Structure 1
Amino acid sequence: MNAIAFPTLDDVSSEARPRLEGPLKHLGFVPNLLVGLSTSPAKLASHVELSRHFAKLDLTGIEMQVVLIVARLENACASCVAAHSTFSAAPSCPMRSWMRWRRSCAG
Protein backbone atom coordinates (compact mmCIF):
# COMPACT_ATOMS: atom_id res chain seq x y z
CA MET A 1 0.00 0.00 0.00
CA ASN A 2 1.32 3.44 -0.90
CA ALA A 3 1.28 6.11 1.75
CA ILE A 4 -0.07 9.50 0.81
CA ALA A 5 2.24 12.31 1.88
CA PHE A 6 0.25 15.20 3.33
CA PRO A 7 1.87 18.54 3.96
CA THR A 8 2.14 19.62 7.56
CA LEU A 9 0.25 22.73 8.60
CA ASP A 10 3.60 24.54 8.68
CA ASP A 11 4.12 23.64 5.01
CA VAL A 12 0.72 24.87 3.79
CA SER A 13 0.85 27.90 1.50
CA SER A 14 -0.11 31.30 2.84
CA GLU A 15 -2.98 31.31 0.33
CA ALA A 16 -4.48 28.07 1.73
CA ARG A 17 -3.75 28.62 5.43
CA PRO A 18 -6.75 30.90 6.22
CA ARG A 19 -9.17 28.25 4.93
CA LEU A 20 -7.73 25.70 7.37
CA GLU A 21 -7.97 27.93 10.44
CA GLY A 22 -11.75 27.53 10.79
CA PRO A 23 -11.72 23.73 10.92
CA LEU A 24 -8.70 23.81 13.24
CA LYS A 25 -10.51 26.15 15.63
CA HIS A 26 -13.88 24.38 15.36
CA LEU A 27 -12.70 20.74 15.42
CA GLY A 28 -9.33 21.05 17.12
CA PHE A 29 -7.65 19.50 14.07
CA VAL A 30 -7.68 19.80 10.29
CA PRO A 31 -9.18 16.79 8.47
CA ASN A 32 -6.80 15.04 6.06
CA LEU A 33 -9.08 15.88 3.13
CA LEU A 34 -8.56 19.59 3.71
CA VAL A 35 -4.82 19.21 4.26
CA GLY A 36 -4.61 17.25 1.02
CA LEU A 37 -6.64 19.84 -0.86
CA SER A 38 -4.41 22.59 0.52
CA THR A 39 -1.79 21.69 -2.09
CA SER A 40 -4.17 23.35 -4.56
CA PRO A 41 -5.63 26.49 -2.98
CA ALA A 42 -8.32 26.67 -5.71
CA LYS A 43 -9.54 23.13 -4.93
CA LEU A 44 -9.49 23.86 -1.21
CA ALA A 45 -11.45 27.09 -1.76
CA SER A 46 -14.03 25.24 -3.88
CA HIS A 47 -14.52 22.57 -1.22
CA VAL A 48 -14.85 25.13 1.57
CA GLU A 49 -17.40 27.16 -0.41
CA LEU A 50 -19.41 24.05 -1.27
CA SER A 51 -19.44 23.14 2.43
CA ARG A 52 -20.67 26.62 3.33
CA HIS A 53 -23.54 26.33 0.84
CA PHE A 54 -24.39 22.84 2.11
CA ALA A 55 -24.59 24.22 5.66
CA LYS A 56 -27.25 26.71 4.51
CA LEU A 57 -29.68 23.94 3.48
CA ASP A 58 -32.78 23.38 5.55
CA LEU A 59 -31.37 20.25 7.20
CA THR A 60 -30.67 19.47 10.82
CA GLY A 61 -27.12 18.69 11.87
CA ILE A 62 -27.84 14.97 11.97
CA GLU A 63 -29.52 15.09 8.55
CA MET A 64 -26.42 16.75 7.09
CA GLN A 65 -24.20 14.07 8.59
CA VAL A 66 -26.48 11.34 7.20
CA VAL A 67 -26.17 12.82 3.70
CA LEU A 68 -22.40 13.00 4.06
CA ILE A 69 -22.16 9.45 5.42
CA VAL A 70 -24.27 8.03 2.59
CA ALA A 71 -22.00 9.78 0.07
CA ARG A 72 -18.94 8.37 1.83
CA LEU A 73 -20.47 4.88 1.92
CA GLU A 74 -21.15 5.08 -1.82
CA ASN A 75 -17.52 6.10 -2.38
CA ALA A 76 -16.23 3.32 -0.08
CA CYS A 77 -14.33 5.70 2.19
CA ALA A 78 -14.31 3.87 5.53
CA SER A 79 -12.26 6.52 7.33
CA CYS A 80 -14.68 9.22 6.12
CA VAL A 81 -17.67 7.20 7.39
CA ALA A 82 -15.93 6.82 10.75
CA ALA A 83 -15.19 10.54 10.95
CA HIS A 84 -18.74 11.62 10.14
CA SER A 85 -20.11 8.98 12.50
CA THR A 86 -18.04 10.58 15.24
CA PHE A 87 -19.45 14.01 14.40
CA SER A 88 -22.94 12.51 14.49
CA ALA A 89 -22.36 11.10 17.96
CA ALA A 90 -22.51 14.61 19.37
CA PRO A 91 -24.84 15.22 22.33
CA SER A 92 -27.44 16.78 20.02
CA CYS A 93 -27.87 13.49 18.17
CA PRO A 94 -30.16 10.85 19.70
CA MET A 95 -27.79 7.86 19.85
CA ARG A 96 -30.48 5.19 19.60
CA SER A 97 -31.86 6.72 16.41
CA TRP A 98 -28.39 7.01 14.98
CA MET A 99 -27.44 3.41 15.76
CA ARG A 100 -30.75 2.14 14.34
CA TRP A 101 -30.07 3.99 11.11
CA ARG A 102 -26.49 2.66 10.90
CA ARG A 103 -27.68 -0.94 11.41
CA SER A 104 -30.26 -0.55 8.64
CA CYS A 105 -27.51 0.63 6.26
CA ALA A 106 -25.32 -2.36 7.05
CA GLY A 107 -28.09 -4.45 5.52
Structure 2
Amino acid sequence: MARHARNSHRRRAGTRPYATYSGGEAFRINFAIRLALARLLAQRAGASLQMLIIDEGFGTQDAAGCDRLIAAINAIADEFACILTVTHMPQFKEAFQTRIDVQKTPQGSQLTIVS
Protein backbone atom coordinates (compact mmCIF):
# COMPACT_ATOMS: atom_id res chain seq x y z
CA MET A 1 0.00 0.00 0.00
CA ALA A 2 1.51 3.32 -1.03
CA ARG A 3 1.29 6.02 1.61
CA HIS A 4 1.39 9.66 0.58
CA ALA A 5 1.20 12.85 2.59
CA ARG A 6 -0.19 16.15 1.39
CA ASN A 7 2.48 18.78 1.00
CA SER A 8 0.93 22.24 1.08
CA HIS A 9 3.66 24.00 3.06
CA ARG A 10 6.23 24.08 0.29
CA ARG A 11 6.21 26.14 -2.90
CA ARG A 12 4.47 23.43 -4.90
CA ALA A 13 1.40 21.96 -3.24
CA GLY A 14 0.56 18.33 -3.88
CA THR A 15 1.40 14.91 -2.53
CA ARG A 16 4.60 12.96 -2.28
CA PRO A 17 5.48 9.52 -0.94
CA TYR A 18 5.61 9.37 2.85
CA ALA A 19 9.03 7.70 2.70
CA THR A 20 10.55 10.87 1.20
CA TYR A 21 9.91 12.98 4.32
CA SER A 22 12.71 13.50 6.84
CA GLY A 23 12.47 11.98 10.31
CA GLY A 24 11.35 15.29 11.79
CA GLU A 25 8.75 15.87 9.08
CA ALA A 26 7.47 12.30 9.44
CA PHE A 27 7.15 12.74 13.21
CA ARG A 28 5.05 15.90 12.73
CA ILE A 29 2.87 14.14 10.13
CA ASN A 30 2.40 11.18 12.50
CA PHE A 31 1.60 13.57 15.37
CA ALA A 32 -1.09 15.28 13.29
CA ILE A 33 -2.61 11.94 12.25
CA ARG A 34 -2.64 10.62 15.84
CA LEU A 35 -4.22 13.84 17.09
CA ALA A 36 -6.91 13.72 14.39
CA LEU A 37 -7.68 10.07 15.20
CA ALA A 38 -7.85 10.81 18.94
CA ARG A 39 -10.27 13.67 18.30
CA LEU A 40 -12.41 11.50 16.02
CA LEU A 41 -12.55 8.57 18.45
CA ALA A 42 -13.32 10.83 21.42
CA GLN A 43 -16.09 12.54 19.45
CA ARG A 44 -17.61 9.20 18.42
CA ALA A 45 -17.51 7.98 22.01
CA GLY A 46 -18.94 11.22 23.36
CA ALA A 47 -15.86 11.58 25.54
CA SER A 48 -13.28 14.26 26.11
CA LEU A 49 -9.57 13.91 25.50
CA GLN A 50 -7.90 13.27 28.83
CA MET A 51 -4.17 12.77 28.35
CA LEU A 52 -1.60 13.23 25.62
CA ILE A 53 1.87 11.75 26.12
CA ILE A 54 4.76 12.64 23.82
CA ASP A 55 7.80 10.59 24.77
CA GLU A 56 11.07 11.86 23.28
CA GLY A 57 9.34 13.46 20.30
CA PHE A 58 11.77 16.32 19.97
CA GLY A 59 14.94 14.41 19.09
CA THR A 60 14.10 14.18 15.39
CA GLN A 61 13.36 17.92 15.09
CA ASP A 62 15.59 20.72 13.89
CA ALA A 63 15.25 24.11 15.64
CA ALA A 64 12.36 25.25 13.43
CA GLY A 65 10.62 21.87 13.79
CA CYS A 66 10.93 22.06 17.58
CA ASP A 67 9.40 25.53 17.57
CA ARG A 68 6.50 24.32 15.40
CA LEU A 69 5.93 21.26 17.58
CA ILE A 70 5.95 23.31 20.80
CA ALA A 71 3.52 25.80 19.24
CA ALA A 72 1.25 22.93 18.16
CA ILE A 73 1.29 21.39 21.64
CA ASN A 74 0.50 24.73 23.27
CA ALA A 75 -2.27 25.36 20.71
CA ILE A 76 -4.08 22.13 21.65
CA ALA A 77 -3.42 22.31 25.40
CA ASP A 78 -7.01 23.30 26.21
CA GLU A 79 -8.32 20.13 24.55
CA PHE A 80 -6.62 17.83 27.07
CA ALA A 81 -6.82 17.50 30.84
CA CYS A 82 -3.07 16.78 30.86
CA ILE A 83 -0.26 16.85 28.31
CA LEU A 84 2.95 15.11 29.32
CA THR A 85 6.05 15.57 27.18
CA VAL A 86 9.20 13.64 28.01
CA THR A 87 12.54 14.96 26.79
CA HIS A 88 16.19 15.04 27.79
CA MET A 89 16.83 18.13 25.69
CA PRO A 90 17.60 21.03 28.08
CA GLN A 91 16.46 23.77 25.68
CA PHE A 92 12.84 22.73 26.34
CA LYS A 93 12.85 23.39 30.07
CA GLU A 94 11.12 26.73 29.56
CA ALA A 95 8.86 25.68 26.68
CA PHE A 96 5.84 24.82 28.82
CA GLN A 97 4.08 26.48 31.78
CA THR A 98 4.57 23.61 34.21
CA ARG A 99 7.21 20.92 34.22
CA ILE A 100 8.45 18.05 36.34
CA ASP A 101 12.23 18.00 36.67
CA VAL A 102 13.71 14.60 37.45
CA GLN A 103 17.14 14.40 39.08
CA LYS A 104 18.94 11.15 39.78
CA THR A 105 20.32 10.92 43.31
CA PRO A 106 22.03 8.09 45.22
CA GLN A 107 18.69 7.53 46.99
CA GLY A 108 16.73 7.36 43.73
CA SER A 109 15.02 9.84 41.46
CA GLN A 110 13.91 13.17 42.92
CA LEU A 111 10.96 14.99 41.33
CA THR A 112 10.47 18.75 41.43
CA ILE A 113 7.36 20.44 40.05
CA VAL A 114 8.18 23.83 38.52
CA SER A 115 5.40 26.26 37.59
TM range (shorter): 0.3 to 0.5
Normalized per residue, the structure richer in helix is 1
Give the TM-score normalised by the residue count of structure 1.
0.34
TM-score by length of 2: 0.32
| More strand per residue | 2
